[in-house]
């Protein structure tokens, strides 16, 4: 798609590039990576959606300068294009950028990974588009190791600045097409160069994904294809919701699992299909396709009879 073919619509304005970037990655429940740097002075970026094949959705962050304004420099987020109709099997490796700064902030304050996950889960409990992007405890532990290693090595890059004041100016952007690195033997998991992922620390998460892939009935690509073709298939399937809290008496972190059932699905001309899950505690949640499939696979890994099949004796 030509870069000048999209008509962008302004969404919001921020004081820092970092805040604007976080807004991009929390705009909806889909995943975005850097497409290219933007502007004659390379003072912005354009992001593309990887949740759909050949997706036309773009989000742009642009630095705006008005000399006479009370705040002369701002960063505007704008949107253009529509999401594709075919779900992609590409997925990002590492912590999503919408919550990465928060994770780093908690970890550098000495918060343990398990507590970090609990804090984020409670904060975004009523924002399902962010909940689907929250990291698991293993990813947070990997991030903690990366931060410790980077601090010890004394890098001056983006990760090292997480340990210093965030009030400094943003590092200059470089005029270069942002490459994507395909992890060896990782299927369709993509690393955005902006993420500074330490590949040595992704091993554990990759093994977890490989283990899930051995559940042949719950192969992700197969589920995505089947449900896309037959959206009514997951109706009456069961999934789990995980809630973690601190016990008042023991002061230990308790994990509580609640079952839910897919009751219906909803379609719209300008929005992706969503499936409605009714949990036994009364809560209802809407899931887009990829999020639903991830929940189904995670629940199956816990041993839940997801598809309500007769259990063999």
Cα within 13 Å of Cα(122), Cβ side: 9
Mean pLDDT of 239-258: 80
- pLDDT per residue as tens digits for the range 275-295: 999 999 899 999 999 999 989
Sorted by where each begins, the domain ranges of the chain are 3-88, 89-167+179-214, 215-313
Torsion sign across C-alpha atoms 154, 157, 161, 162? negative
Name residues whose C-beta falls within 8 Å of residue 70's C-beta, 6 or more positions apart in sequence.
Answer: none
Give the span between the Cα atoms of 160 and 124, in whole angstroms. 27
Residue partners of 9: CB distance under 8 A and separation at least 6: 78, 79, 80
Contact, 170 vs 154, CB < 8 A?
no
What's the pLDDT tens digit per position in 12-40? 999 988 888 888 888 887 888 888 887 66
Per-residue pLDDT at 249 exceeds 80 = no
Q: For the segment 149-185, what is each residue's pLDDT rounded down to a tens digit? A: 877 766 444 444 444 434 444 333 332 333 333 333 3
Query: What's this model's pTM, rounded to 2 decimal places?
Result: 0.43
What phi-psi label fits residue 54: left (phi over 0), alpha (psi between -120 and 50 degrees) or beta? left
Tens of pLDDT, residue by residue over 38-60, are 766 657 889 999 888 888 899 99
Query: Which pLDDT score, from 0 to 100, does residue 52 have?
Result: 87
Q: Tell me the CA distances in angstroms from 110 to 147, 246, 279, one per residue in order.
A: 12, 18, 34
If you count DSSP H runs as helices and E runs as strands, how many of each does the chain have, helices first? 8, 12
pLDDT category at 222 given cuts 50, 70, 90 is confident
Question: Can you give the pLDDT at residue 132?
Answer: 76
- The model's pLDDT over 106-153, given as tens digits with 9 standing for 90+, comes to 999 999 999 999 999 888 888 877 787 888 888 899 889 888 887 776
């Amino acid at each position: 798609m030509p870069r000048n073919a999209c008509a962008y619509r302004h969404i919001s304005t921020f004081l820092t590039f970092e805040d604007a970037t976080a807004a991009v990655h929390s705009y909806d429940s889909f995943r975005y990576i850097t497409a290219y740097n933007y502007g004659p002075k390379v003072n912005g970026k354009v992001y593309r959606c990887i949740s759909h094949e050949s997706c036309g959705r773009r989000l742009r962050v642009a630095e705006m300068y008005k000399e006479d304004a009370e705040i002369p420099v701002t960063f505007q987020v704008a949107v253009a294009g529509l999401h594709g109709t075919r779900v992609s099997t590409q997925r990002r490796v590492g912590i999503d950028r919408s919550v990465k700064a928060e994770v780093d902030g908690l970890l550098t304050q000495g918060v343990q990974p398990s507590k970090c996950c609990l804090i984020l889960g409670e904060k975004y409990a009523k924002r399902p588009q962010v909940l689907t992007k929250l990291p698991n405890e293993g990813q947070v532990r990997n991030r903690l190791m990366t931060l410790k290693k980077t601090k010890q090595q004394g890098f001056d890059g983006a990760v090292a600045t997480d340990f210093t004041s965030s009030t400094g100016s943003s590092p200059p952007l470089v005029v270069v097409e942002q490459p994507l690195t395909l992890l060896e033997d990782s299927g369709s998991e993509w690393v955005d160069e902006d993420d500074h992922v330490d590949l040595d620390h992704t091993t554990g998460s990759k093994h977890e994904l490989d283990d899930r892939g051995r559940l042949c009935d719950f192969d992700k690509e197969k589920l995505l294809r089947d449900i896309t073709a037959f959206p009514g298939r997951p109706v009456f399937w069961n999934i789990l919701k995980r809630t973690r809290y601190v016990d008042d008496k023991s002061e230990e972190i308790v994990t509580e699992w609640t079952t839910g059932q897919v009751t219906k699905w909803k379609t719209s001309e300008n929005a992706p299909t969503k499936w409605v899950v009714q949990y036994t505690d009364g809560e209802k949640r809407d899931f887009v396709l990829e999020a639903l499939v991830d929940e189904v696979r995670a629940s199956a890994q816990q041993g839940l009879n997801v598809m309500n099949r007769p259990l063999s004796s």
